[in-house]
Amino acid sequence: MRRLLLMIGVVLALAPSAQAKLFAPGSVWNARVADHPALDPNSADISRTLLQMTQTHTVWVDTDAYSTPIYTVGPNQPRVPVRLTSWRSGTSMAPLLRQGIPIPRSAQPATGSDAHLTVWQPSKDRLWDLWGSEKAGGKWTAQTGDAFKHVSQSPGFSSTESWPPFTDQTWTSTATSLPVSAGTMTVNQIRRGRIGHALALDIPGARAGEYSWPAQQTDGYDSSAASIPEGAHFVLKRGYNCNKLRLRIAHTICWAAKYRGLIVRDPAPGVGLYAEDPARFGAGKDPYYAGSKLFGGQYPNRFLAPDQFPWGQMKLLKMHLCNNPSAPCRK
Q: pLDDT tens digit string along 236-245?
A: 999 999 999 9
Instruction: Give the pairing of strands 271-274 and 59-62.
Output: parallel
**Residues 14-17: contacts with CB within 8 Å, 24+ apart?**
14/72, 14/73, 14/74, 15/72, 16/72, 16/120, 16/122, 17/122
Beta carbons of 162 and 148 less than 8 angstroms apart: yes
pTM confidence score = 0.92
Q: What is the dihedral of CA 296, 300, 304, 308, to 10 degrees?
A: -50
pLDDT cut 70: percent of the chain above it: 92
Q: What is the pLDDT of residue 276?
A: 96
Cα-Cα-Cα-Cα dihedral sign, residues 170, 29, 287, 266:
negative
- Nearest Cα neighbor of 247 from 196, 295, 291 is 295
The helix/strand/coil state of 302 is helix
Of 173, 79, 68, the residue nearest 118 (C-alpha): 68
Name which of 237, 230, 241, 259 is nearest 319 in CA terms.
230
The residues near 283 (Cβ < 8 Å, ≥ 6 apart) are: none
* Residue from 331, 323, 176, 329 nearest 263 by CA: 176
**Amino acid at residue number 76:** N
Residue 313: which of 242, 240, 260 has the closest Cα? Answer: 240
Q: What is the pLDDT of residue 93?
A: 85
Residues of the chain where predicted confidence (pLDDT) is lower than 50: 1-19
Q: What confidence score (pLDDT) does residue 17 get?
A: 40
Which amino acid, one-letter code, is at 9?
G
Give phi and psi for 182, each to the nearest 5.
-70, 130
